[in-house]
Chain A
Amino acid sequence: MTPAVELRDVHKRFGKTEIIRGTSLSVAPGERVAIIGPNGAGKSTLFNLISGRFGATSGDILLNGRKIDGLKPYEINRLGLARSFQVSNLFNNLSVFENVRCAVLWGLGYRYAFWKFLTQLRDANERAEQVLAMIRLDRRRDVLAVNLTYAEQRALEIGITIAGGAEVILLDEPTAGMSRAETTRFVELIREVTVGKTLLTVEHDMGVVFGLADRIAVLVYGEVIAFDTPDKVRADPRVQEAYLGSVLAAHQAEQADQGH
């Protein structure tokens, strides 16, 4: 089967600094993959390369077998890949509903239409309401995005990402800055809204990682040193040495296991 996302020997240099050093990764359709690694390992950069925010220095990036490196972010999005951001990236002066509706318009084929009224786009409005219900923000429908609480903004961030119906979803630290209770609820929500989709997520919280991922890719200094099921990754001595050896991480994972 064609992988949903495939990276072949991808390099990324900023000046003389090489951030991504020959990363290869193949994610099957419907698979949930978590990318972990210490700070500065290049996780966010990897997401930026896949989603077209940066261009790769060399190597190939493929979406459903099609080369996407060099394409603009909006072209990649139209091919069925959507991403969220580590720092909420919303349309601050638009309402929650408008935020989500902006994200569904292209996918439903409305393009740059200025001869149709938004209120008459039944499919777009229904889809937006449906997404609001999924992310539990239906009661905050008319609030400006800037006035939401932090957790609500994180939920809206996910809502905008999934609203367009992309088959491949990239979530960059979706639970960053949330309390433990919020995180637990949020992981449930992510699981719900990404059913049947290919999911790549960058995460620091080991509880989230082991709870959510089918496979884990460990990125250290721009290289994938392990890519396997959570149990095998945890047992891998190289991973332990590089990253998971810390007591804290092990503790977090234990907690998560008890939680599920």
Chain B
Amino acid sequence: MNLAPNASSSSAGRVFVWGGFALLMLLAPMAVSGSLALSILSQIGIAIVACLSYNILLGQGGMLSFGHAVYTGLASFVAIHVLNQAGEGLPVPVSLIPLVGGLAGAAFAIVLGFVTTRKAGTPFAMITLGIAELVFAMALMVPEFFGGEGGVSGNRTAGKPFMGITFGPPIQVYYLLAIYAFLCTAAMFAFTRTPLGRMLNAVRDNPERVEFVGYSTQRVRYLAFIIAGFFAGVSGGMYALHFEIATAEVVGAARSGAYLLFTFLGGATFFFGPIIGAVLMVLAGVLLSELTKAWLLYLGLVFLLMVMYAPGGVASLIMMNVRVAAFGRLRELLPTYAGLAAALAVVLLGAGAVVEMIYHLQLNDTAGPELGYLGLQLSVGSALHWLAALAVLAAGVGLLEALRRPFARRWAAIQQDIEAAVRRREGA
């Protein structure tokens, strides 16, 4: 963050990063096979826009929203309805449905955000929670718009084909969503470089002082909220195109919670953090949930550990190591990292066995005492299996702690050296 490379190398770096991002999205479908993999890629694109839009509030504006799914979700419903209208002759090209979602998201943010952004801090968080509950309750009360329990479904192939593009095949939808994801990411990055974007950071850091340099904090928050609502809406429109259905859960608290959780996990203090969070969100939701029924429990544990030990999320862990690498000190840490990873694997192995056995005991008892775990047959009736699982867990924790202490000292020493080097450079 403070490495401050010179102008020419940073502009070359920018081309490299953005070009790489575009290339990655272009080539990703060729690297995977199967409709599930392609669906995961599409969902990642949708989640990237959603999490980045959420981070305009959380990371850039210091606004802890518990109701971001209101804007992605309501936009999904509007997008589905417009999609259905398009099938009946409304002249809206299917490729512009995400934009329709964006306008809907912005419109809802203009109305609801006017109330929400009058306050900051805890009252802001409370109001977003209230509005989220309100909208979710409405979703079940107004079946005309929300379709009741079954939701509203649409058909993205309803429009006229354009240059042979019908949006029937998932690959066509993927590329449309990839284009939106790329453009939205670029636009949201650009936003961080504008006067409003910077004043939003200032409002996060010190709202009181902002008022004494001529800006209304309330206005800054409100405008940023509308912009976040717009991009959330684009994501909602993308969702509608991909899934062709919107149910009440898209405006639900669980989804709002997921945006918060994964934006934080990815790292709210760096622009690219929520992109990592979005990838994790889709992988956890699609793959981890297939792997184990207890996936929310693991997720909660990871979130807890991150909040306590790495509040900057994955992005800050990466950037801290990039900084160490920039000063040529990463190599000496690599053996320790390998050791830590191995210890962590042992912890996971033990903890996973314990969690799965408890889960099995509580929920799957009728299926008998046996359960499969990483190719092993465990039995919840066997004291030996319990003891073995706990022993592995204990050994892992012990190993991790034994490695962590010298690592922490080494890390602190390296940081001190780097600080000293930075000071020398500034003094020179």
Interface residues in chain A, defined as those with a beta carbon under 8 Å from any beta carbon in chain B = 51, 72-74, 77-78, 82-83, 85, 89-95, 98, 101-103, 105-107, 110-119, 121, 139-140, 142-144, 160, 163-164
Contacts and interface: CB of A to CB of B under 8 A. Distances in A.
A105 B206 contact: no
A90 B199 contact: no
Please name the 7 residue pairs, one residue from A and one from B, whose CB atoms are nearest each other, closest first: A106-B214, A114-B196, A91-B205, A73-B211, A110-B195, A103-B213, A77-B214
Contacts of A89: 206, 208-209, 212
Contacts of B209: 85, 89-91, 160
A116 B202 contact: no
B195 A112 contact: yes
Contacts of A110: 195
B193 A102 contact: no
Given A77-B214, A117-B190, A143-B426, 20 more contacts: A72-B211, A74-B214, A77-B213, A85-B209, A90-B206, A90-B209, A94-B198, A94-B205, A98-B198, A98-B201, A102-B202, A102-B210, A112-B219, A113-B196, A114-B197, A114-B227, A118-B193, A140-B426, A160-B209, A160-B213
Nearest to A170: B212
B308 interface: no
B213 A106 contact: yes
Interface of B: 2, 4, 190-191, 193-199, 201-202, 204-206, 208-216, 219-220, 223, 227, 426
6 contacts: A94-B202, A94-B205, A102-B198, A117-B190, A118-B193, A142-B2
A106 B194 contact: no
B2 A105 contact: no
A102 B199 contact: yes
Nearest to B191: A114
A226 B194 CA distance: 49
B195 A105 contact: yes
B214 A139 contact: no
Contacts of B214: 74, 77-78, 105-107, 164
A49 B191 CA distance: 36
A14 B322 CA distance: 53
A119 B193 CA distance: 8
Contact of A92 (B193, B206, B212): B206
B205 A142 contact: no
Contacts of B204: 93
Contact of A118 (B4, B194, B205): B194
A74 B194 contact: no
